[in-house]
Amino acid sequence: MNNLKLLNQSEVKKILTMKDVLQAVEDAFGSWGRGEVQMPPKSYLIFDEQNGDLRSMPAYLPGKNAGVKIVTVHPDNTSQGLPTVMALCVLNDPNTGFPVAVMDAGLLTAVRTGAAGGVASKWLAKEGSSEIGLIGSGVQAQYQIEAHLDFMNIDHIKISDPNKQATKDLSDWIKKKDSSIDISVTDIKNACDCDVLITTTPVRNPIVMDSMIVRPHTHINAIGADAEGKQEIEGNLVKRSNVIVDDWTQTSHSGEINVPCHEGWFTKDMVAGEIGTIVAEADSSFKNVLTIFDSTGLAIQDMATANIVLKKAIEKGMGIDWSPLK
Ligand SMILES: NC(=O)c1ccc[n+]([C@@H]2O[C@H](COP(=O)([O-])OP(=O)(O)OC[C@H]3O[C@@H](n4cnc5c(N)ncnc54)[C@H](O)[C@@H]3O)[C@@H](O)[C@H]2O)c1
């Protein structure tokens, strides 16, 4: 193959289904847990003045195209009509190195992040969980819900976000997906009284306090903190929870536990588990206890998802074929 496939976001959207991505991400976590993948930790460029950053995320899952995602996170972008998160994935054939695809990965990032939260809840949340609390109701929140709708019988979703438009848009979207779900717009404390709490804000000071988590089995997907200095959850709550990381190197650098690690009181031996090992070993021992899944986002999630997009795009004849060596 001498052509590279160029795919934009609307083409990726036509191809991707949450069901496929949930399976691909779960399989990728399992491979990671069995030590089958290559994935150096993501590296960062920090734009202090512009309040943003750029990350490069390479990975290779055996039997698939290797590649790298370049992703930027600029929380002030919404005022300019741009998404907070924008990304591109480049896929390379591991046999020759030939670049086989360049695709938009903004939507892909949101879908694979939603799927990671879904897989974490599948393995870490109590059986029969039916009540979700959402802190933050932006892009990531929607895809977290989409993933949970796939496998969880959701009765009630409590949403807390000071952005009334974002909250309304998400509520309307959920109603369209499943009108039987009760939706409450509420404060953070009330939203925390739930089975599965999902935090997707870019805050730098904790907003989920220890006293707010009252159920002994609540599972928390901590999604928002994915860069140095970001933190959504109060230290005392982290201390009394079983912290499951996606990857120790990444989470200690830039995940929910990055601030506790930099302060020196959270150490590697305090990690209760890694999602890859839990999936690889089908470990269901955390389902009835308080858990935090610290998600920074793994490049294997992106590469597993991008490979699905490329395969389906070739089957459907979608995208633009371009010859880079011409
Ligand atoms: N872990 C991962 O793999 C991963 C992947 C992608 C994005 N992220 C991170 O997730 C976060 C959210 O990304 P997004 O694309 O959804 O952004 P977004 O801007 O679409 O949504 C963020 C929402 O958080 C809300 N918010 C801000 N402060 C709040 C507060 N104090 N209480 C309640 N809500 C508050 C905002 O009003 C907004 O609606 C970012 O920090 C991003 O870097 C993580």
Same domain, 185 and 266: yes
Same domain, 96 and 175: no
Closest ligand 1 atom to residue 166 Cα is 39
- Across residues 168-173, what is the average pLDDT? 98
300 C-alpha vs ligand 1 centroid, how far in Å? 22
Spatial neighbors of 162 by CB under 8 A, at least 6 apart, are none
Residue-wise pLDDT for 176-211, tens only, equals: 999 999 999 999 999 999 999 999 999 999 999 999
Same domain, 186 and 270: yes
Please indicate whether residue 242, judged by its CB atom, sits closer than 6 Å to ligand 1.
no
Domain span at 25: 4-109+300-322
Same domain, 196 and 214: yes
Please indicate whether residue 252, judged by its CB atom, sits closer than 6 Å to ligand 1.
no
CA distances from 101 to 34, 65, 201, 238, 321 (A): 27, 9, 31, 40, 9
Same domain, 290 and 230: yes
What pLDDT, on a 0 to 100 scale, did the predictor assign at position 1?
Answer: 60
Residue-wise pLDDT for 229-250, tens only, equals: 999 999 999 999 999 999 999 9
Best mutation site among 158, 163, 200, 209 for ligand 1, i.e. most ligand atoms within 8 A of its Cβ? 200
Point out the catalytic residue in the list 5, 42, 64, 69: 69
What pLDDT, on a 0 to 100 scale, did the predictor assign at position 271?
Answer: 98
What pLDDT, on a 0 to 100 scale, did the predictor assign at position 85?
Answer: 86
Residue with tokens 């308080």: 290
Residue-wise pLDDT for 261-282, tens only, equals: 999 999 999 999 999 999 999 9
d(CA 170, CA 148): 14
311 C-alpha vs ligand 1 centroid, how far in Å? 30
